[in-house]
Amino acid sequence: MKEIIYHCKIKQYAIEELPSADSALILKAKKATERAYAPYSQFKVGAAVLLANGEIITGNNQENAAYPSGLCAERVALFYAQARYPDVAICCLVIAAVGDIPATSFITPCGACRQVMVECEKRGKLPMRILLCSETEVLEVDAAADLLPLKFDL
């Protein structure tokens, strides 16, 4: 038998410890939650994507009665960013949520979103920083690939 140990470095910050550029991205992700369409779950998620060219793209979750036809905020933002700027790498993705969740809870991406994030990294040839937000703190992951150790990799 062979044992494989996987390590992922995650940094935790208080919101006020972050650089102003990160704080601005977080505000954009939180603002994007206001435009989410979540009539079934009442769980509104927003995402903000910082591109290598300085553009910021936001997205939010879009539910549908024909579950699972909706899309998560992360994929909405990432797909829109790549549709508008197909040759520009994604530097950072911020995820925030509002709803019936504790103020200290971090929102983490689902498996499908994690795979899309990894593909975006591969496409852009650049690690994508991930910021996962609660009301008071932020978790930072250096690359999307760190969130999905057994990713599809063609």
User: How many CA within 13 A on the CB side of residue 65?
Assistant: 0
In the predicted model, is pLDDT for residue 56 greater than 60?
Answer: yes
pLDDT class for 40, splitting at 50, 70, 90? very high
Q: In terms of pTM, does the model score above 0.85?
A: yes
Structural domain boundaries of the chain?
A: 10-147
Please enumerate in sequence order all residues whose Cβ is within 8 A of that of 31, keeping only pairs 6 or more positions apart, or say none: 46, 58
- What positions carry a catalytic annotation? 74
Name the class of domain 10-147: alpha beta
| Least confident range of 35-49, 99-113, 130-144 | 99-113
